Amino acid sequence: MIDKICLNCHKEFSIGYKNRSKKYCSLICANHHKNNGQKQSKEKENLYLLNPRICKNCPTIIHYKKPNNKFCSWDCFQKSFEIENPEKTLYYRNCEFNFNVYNFPDEFDLSLLENYGWYSNFGYNSRKPKNLGGISKDHMISKNFGWLNKIDTYLISHPANCQLLRHVDNIRKGKKNSITLEELKERINIWNSKYN
């Protein structure tokens, strides 16, 4: 037998070894403790609704379980960022890759796409299914590095600056560079001479 203390009434009770994971002395105590927890959660929600936090970008009330958030969604955060940083937003847009990797099979490992598919985080409203373990195009010289060092967007958006990575690895890499600026310029020269 094992001696335990009930989480609800705080009385000591004994149980067999097979039931060692039990936390309550009886079903009545278990139900009472659960109902009490739900009441506290409802009270917390009601208190929050008396003084709610409003999204900085739209009039939506932020969920009471996330009281420290400034925005109700990622979209609102991005819109707010675009309003506050129009030049940086424009630079980032101009740094996006505008080419088809399938046109350059010698330059990219297309077997990654066969194995994992393209990364997609679209929800249930989209026709495109989610694929969080998929592949994304990674900037070997990051857009952030380009912005901070005032590098021409032509260099950052060039296909020679692209590598295919699993999106989880791309996130881990963050704003780090895989190559130097000199290496990128050399790669661009080789690419341009090869593909005119």
The answer to whether the CB of 160 falls within 8 A of the CB of 188 is yes
In a domain, 62, yes or no: no
pTM metric for this prediction: 0.62
**123 and 178 both lie in a single domain:** yes
In a domain, 163, yes or no: yes
In a domain, 79, yes or no: no
Range of the domain at 157: 85-195
In a domain, 145, yes or no: yes
**185 and 97 both lie in a single domain:** yes
SS3 of residue 139 by DSSP: strand
Q: Where are the beta strands (DSSP E) in 58-161?
A: 135-139
**102 and 154 both lie in a single domain:** yes
In tens digits, what is the pLDDT along the chain, a chain of 196 residues?
A: 778 888 778 788 888 777 778 888 888 888 777 766 666 666 766 666 677 788 888 888 787 667 778 888 878 888 888 888 899 999 999 999 999 999 999 999 999 999 999 988 765 445 667 888 899 999 999 999 999 999 999 999 999 999 999 999 999 998 899 999 999 999 999 999 998 7
Identity at 33, one-letter amino acid code: H
Give CA–CA dist 28/76, Å, rounded: 45
**32 and 126 both lie in a single domain:** no
**93 and 143 both lie in a single domain:** yes
Q: Where are the beta strands (DSSP E) in the chain?
A: 2-5, 12-15, 135-139, 162-166
In a domain, 56, yes or no: no
In a domain, 151, yes or no: yes
The answer to whether the CB of 147 falls within 8 A of the CB of 130 is no
**165 and 95 both lie in a single domain:** yes
**46 and 117 both lie in a single domain:** no
SS3 of residue 125 by DSSP: coil
**127 and 186 both lie in a single domain:** yes
> Could you tell me the CA-to-CA distances from 150 to 68, 103, 155, 184 in Å, in that order?
34, 30, 11, 15
Q: What is the pLDDT of residue 64?
A: 66
**111 and 176 both lie in a single domain:** yes
Q: Directed axis angle between helix 74-84 and helix 86-94, to 10°?
A: 110
The answer to whether the CB of 131 falls within 8 A of the CB of 119 is yes
**95 and 188 both lie in a single domain:** yes
Tell me the pairing of strands 2-5 and 135-139: unpaired
Q: What is the pLDDT of residue 155?
A: 96
In a domain, 183, yes or no: yes
The helix, strand and coil proportions of the chain, stated in percent and rounded to the nearest 5, come to 45, 10, 40
Q: What is the pLDDT of residue 53?
A: 80
In a domain, 67, yes or no: no
SS3 of residue 47 by DSSP: helix
Query: Total domain count for the chain?
Result: 2
**89 and 24 both lie in a single domain:** no
**94 and 185 both lie in a single domain:** yes
SS3 of residue 21 by DSSP: coil
Identity at 133, one-letter amino acid code: G
